[in-house]
Structure 1
């Protein structure tokens, strides 16, 4: 009963709005004070962080730099010798050396076997075989041409020793034998064969005959791959004679040039038929000798042939 009376008296008292305002203001004041204190603490903490950063100890030092210990050079040159013996391991190392570049390989390339249709219909071939390792090789080369229904009008065979002088070029030396219906010559040969920058295959040869006649030949060709199987091969050949040789129909200077292009389709990587075109011309005294013999100094030929290697 007394509790109910107290509740009725409290409800009957007038409401003081200032009390709520004071209480609300007191709450805001304490909240502002706490916010200010948090901000101050954050600044103090940041300052201590900067101080700690500037005063941090340096990182650990790197490993000591010193020469290998003397014991590192005290063992055998090949560690396996200590377990199996040098006599047993020597033939094993030789076998590994052979398997990783010391073996002899061979290749027969029939670069051109073609029919020439034009002012003087005929055939031509250019083939080469090599056998050897990465540094030393034996090369056999043959090329020639002739008319349909007759024997070769000109042919030659070369036997050369080849030595690699860098990753791209070989120095070659040997002999060349001419085979033709008329007078023949035997030549000493010295030259370079290899890949020039941008993958041009080049060859430059000097020939000195047994009669003291000096001549030179330079060849260049390039494989332009149009598709995975279709390859266009432009080529250029220049022949130079350093003196007149009327017996062979050669004049001094630039004696002849051949420029052509062959488009081949690789049925397989080692077999490709081709078609092409070639222009050949004699110059200077060589052209005069040809005209005197009733021959043309130059002309165009259409080519049909096959290229293969084994």
Structure 2
């Protein structure tokens, strides 16, 4: 057997060792014809292709979120935090409003933000626009911030504000939904505010000005409709605490809240 000549095997080895030339010509252009147009009405097919394009990233949508509509039974207080969005996957118009007050003192804080929001990663947007405060005093701010989601579903939001009076403020917020059951959700929340200077008329102090912590338990009757009960704790620091004391209020407050979270 060792003396037998096997020319087929030798030829196969030589062919396997030979280098294969890869063509360097450019790829052919994509097809511009639509074969289905030869069997169906071209107008109807063009409309179907346009709809497919719209449904895969080119469609605009709108959403109104009432994140907090709440009452504070202890002192007749109330608060709200709402947001409206309109746009596509990349570019959006965002309108935010939040504030609080009480039956005794009336409206204490109220603001509206009108922002352009642009997606910069799959989970984060950068936002820029204007913020208008109506209470406790009228102020207009240039706003630059970001909003998105960290790993493990932590919702975060932060922004810096430059007022028409030259005041520089910053605010950061974060929430997390802890799903106890399919309908009961426990949501811890935190909000921290900072200032570059003392602003006595707004009861804001330089540096760390205030911290607000919340814990709310909601029941989702539907995903879009969820009443809740919770507790809110707020603490002023530094000069901000001094300004609040001078106005006759306590710089540290704890409130029981009941409210509604809804969206459509």
**TM-score (normalised: structure 2):** 0.85
Corresponding residue for residue 78 of structure 1: 31
1:128-143 correspondence to structure 2 within 5 Å: 128-143=83-98
Output the CA distance in 2 between the equivalents of 1:113 and 1:66: 70
The 1:82–1:71 alpha-carbon spacing in structure 2 relative to 1, beyond 3 Å, is farther
Task: Show structure 1 runs of 5+ residues with no match.
Answer: 1-47, 49-56
Aligned counterpart in structure 2 of residue 294 of structure 1, from 235, 239, 248: 248
Aligned length: 249
Output the CA distance in 2 between the equivalents of 1:71 and 1:297: 71
> Are 2:67 and 1:127 equivalent residues in the alignment?
no
| Aligned partner of residue 89 in structure 2, secondary structure | coil
What do the CA deviations read for 1:130-172 (whole angstroms, capped 9, x no partner)?
0000000000000000002663211000000000000010000
**TM-score (normalised: structure 1):** 0.73
Larger Rg: 1
The 1:61–1:212 alpha-carbon spacing in structure 2 relative to 1, beyond 3 Å, is same
CA RMSD of aligned residues (A): 2.8
What do the CA deviations read for 1:3-47 (whole angstroms, capped 9, x no partner)?
xxxxxxxxxxxxxxxxxxxxxxxxxxxxxxxxxxxxxxxxxxxxx
Output the CA distance in 2 between the equivalents of 1:68 and 1:81: 28
The 1:82–1:65 alpha-carbon spacing in structure 2 relative to 1, beyond 3 Å, is farther
Corresponding residue for residue 15 of structure 1: none
Is the CA contact 2:76–2:104 (under 8 Å) kept in the aligned structure 1?
no
1:95-114 correspondence to structure 2 within 5 Å: 95-114=51-70
Deviation of residue 83 (structure 1)?
A: 8.0
Higher strand share: 2
Task: Show structure 2 runs of 5+ residues with no match.
Answer: 2-8
